[in-house]
Chain A
């Protein structure tokens, strides 16, 4: 077991191996040391009154983005600092997360973080930290007690956050009205519906979703706008038997 902490999780073992292929040696060494430190500290202690000192894993959680970066061969070369990688590609809707997100999920799992701490980390987190908390939910929380984090993310207009919220935890726990609104929001904001976990299973036989999609398609058509290909795809899924 590579990930330590709570219950066995083969998906996180796979994620660890994925990460190791996509970050440099310094990033791998940092992560291994951070995970070892978290395991030595043991599971998260019960909450106490008063301000608690910052646990080591939480400092690692905050620093993961600068310690565990995606390997980019084109960034390596004889150029002077600042000459490389002038950004010219706008971030796109539904863009994936990165090794730092995986590192953060592994740290949260290794620390056995509970819902109260996840809520605090999400509420006062950067965009990247919030995405990691959302990605970690199915690995840390069996019941619906963290669903408020998903619904918070779905209220935002940050497409990366919305996409991260629609993983298997949302697929299991979101009620049908909220789930349908989430599907529609993806279509509105240009998030590929491939980001939605269990889309086929949940859409199958959903006549209310089919009505909402048809209404949205009619609204687009009336405005002289294209109907998104993804809308047609989901509409097809609703026609299948559940």
Chain B
């Protein structure tokens, strides 16, 4: 079973997690920029974090046979902090970089005017950079938050087929499905969705199966980086064909993030020869 976790915060995870994920079948991840638990106080703190998602974390993942891409953004929570919001001025330069496959996580936390402005600006940045957008739907007042999110998507330059609405559940899936956006579900041990309910929703929304993504959203909280595998196993146990598992847990994330034109699922191959090129050899 090949697995692509389309939303996981590996910065917060250990090397043991990488080993276990690879053993479970995970070969690719996308790490969205998010709130780190400890509030940031300046754009430079974001820059260092973005640099980590573009440098150190992909290197760490590669050591374990996992390809790492990221999405970058000003997250909804810190969009409310005037010390952090200026990162939107430097974000465009980061969005040019190769392993950035979407703008995200953007969306709502408390549905404030500052969040409105950051979400609208970043949906337009996604459109300008040819990137899709990963949109976090809020934990509190989720259905109203989704409705307001969809209003902003409609007003933006980004078409719904380039938007992934994440952290959906039974109360929001219908409106999200009607919108034409991609549908994301986060599977958690005690909150968000679980694998049993996910399988039920997959049956109910079988007509949307080609635009459903499932992720672990594992981070620094109580979460499980193997939840994609658990969903795959639950799908098989419920009678789904292996090809359906592959569609939801591999091909759909490849298709969505592939909209960026930047998804590269090849790890650098070992090659000590440098084939006679003196720049790569070091000119010596």
Binding site for B on A (CB under 8 A): 11-12, 14-15, 18-19, 22, 54, 59, 62-66, 69, 72, 75, 80-82, 84-92, 94-98, 100-102, 105, 123-130, 135, 138-139, 156, 158-161, 166-168, 171, 192, 194-198
Contact = CB atoms under 8 A, between A and B. Distances in A.
B98 A126 contact: yes
A65 B279 CA distance: 17
Given A105-B279, A167-B284, A59 B96 contact: yes
A91 B58 CA distance: 10
B254 A82 contact: yes
Interface in B251-284: 251, 254-255, 258, 261-262, 264-272, 274-280, 282-284
A105 B66 CA distance: 27
Contact of A63 (B58, B66, B96, B284): B96
Contacts of B63: 90-91
A117 to B, nearest CB: 13
B129 to A, nearest CB: 11
Given A14-B277, A62-B97, A82-B254, A124 B282 contact: no
Interface string B75-101: 000000000000000000110111100
Contacts of B279: 11-12, 14-15, 18, 101-102, 105, 135, 139
Contacts of A14: 277-279
A66 B268 contact: no
Closest 4 CB pairs between A and B?
Answer: A82-B254, A65-B98, A91-B62, A197-B284
B272 A91 contact: no
A81 B188 CA distance: 29
A82 B250 contact: yes
Contacts of A138: 283
Nearest to A18: B277
A88 B271 contact: no
B59 interface: yes
14 contacts: A14-B277, A54-B93, A65-B98, A66-B261, A66-B264, A69-B264, A81-B254, A94-B272, A98-B268, A101-B279, A126-B55, A129-B97, A159-B59, A196-B282
**Most chain A beta-carbon contacts within 10 A, residue among B65, B94, B261:** B65
A209 B74 CA distance: 48
A201 to B, nearest CB: 9
A179 B62 CA distance: 27
A126 B254 contact: no
B283 A167 contact: yes
B136 interface: no
B99 A85 contact: no
Interface range on chain B (Cβ under 8 Å from partner): 35 or more
A81 B267 contact: no
B28 A87 contact: yes
Contacts of B59: 91, 127, 158-161
A195 B266 CA distance: 23
Given A82-B251, A94-B272, A95-B270, 11 more contacts: A15-B280, A63-B98, A81-B254, A86-B2, A90-B62, A96-B272, A100-B98, A156-B56, A161-B55, A167-B282, A194-B272
B261 A81 contact: no
Nearest to B98: A65
B265 A102 contact: no
A62 B28 contact: no
Contact of B98 (A15, A86, A128, A158): A128
B265 A87 contact: yes
A64 B264 CA distance: 13
